[in-house]
Amino acid sequence: MDRFDIALLEALQADSRRSIADLGEAIGLSGSACHRRIRALEDSGHIMGYGARLSPERMGLGLHAFVEISLTSQSQDTMERFETAVADFPEILECALMAGRADYLLRVAAADLSGFDAIHRDCLARLPGVSAIRTSFVIRRIRDWQGYRVRGITS
């Protein structure tokens, strides 16, 4: 990965709607060279896809929570059943296997406490193999995720 690839990744991460010509001009490449490099970054898996960042508040999701899940067992079967079930609930925005006190950390968003209660009853409480659920509510988001740091990263 050279400086052009790094510049492309930074530019696309900041605004993936820019035209190929605009991207190329911004980093000092022709449009065709820029297009080839983007395709190569996609093919290599550096770029996994494109999407829009939505405003949770405008979407009616004013309550955010991180949910720690502990399982009854760390057997492969218990973990696979849990992970398969998590995929069936779109209310779970993210799920990560953790090291530490909890087995998994989930991120969920709801309209309000009543909405979270529904997610808790209809989603979280139905997940298989759960022995404990600990929820922390976000009071205020200080810094939203803006993307990965690209400078200094090598492939």
Q: CA–CA separation, 15 vs 104, rounded Å?
A: 31
Q: What is the pLDDT of residues 2-29, one digit of tens each?
A: 999 999 999 999 999 999 999 999 999 9
Q: Do the Cβ atoms of 27 and 20 come closer than 8 Å?
A: no
Domain of 34, CATH number, reads 1.10.10.10
Number of separate domains in the chain: 2
| Host domain of residue 20 | 3-43
Q: Are residues 38 and 70 in the same domain?
A: no
Order of strands, sheet of 92-97, starting from the edge strand that comes earlier in the sequence: 92-97, 104-110, 63-71, 130-137
State mean pLDDT over 46-69.
Answer: 94
Share of the chain above pLDDT 70, in %: 97
Q: Are residues 8 and 70 in the same domain?
A: no
36-44 — which CB contacts under 8 Å span 24+ positions? 37/4, 37/5, 37/8, 38/8, 38/12, 41/5, 41/8, 41/9, 44/155
- Work out the pLDDT band at 154, boundaries 50, 70, 90: low
pTM: 0.85
Is 51 a domain residue? no
- Work out the pLDDT band at 153, boundaries 50, 70, 90: low
Q: What is the pLDDT of residues 95-149, one digit of tens each?
A: 999 999 999 999 999 999 999 999 999 999 999 999 999 999 999 999 988 888 8
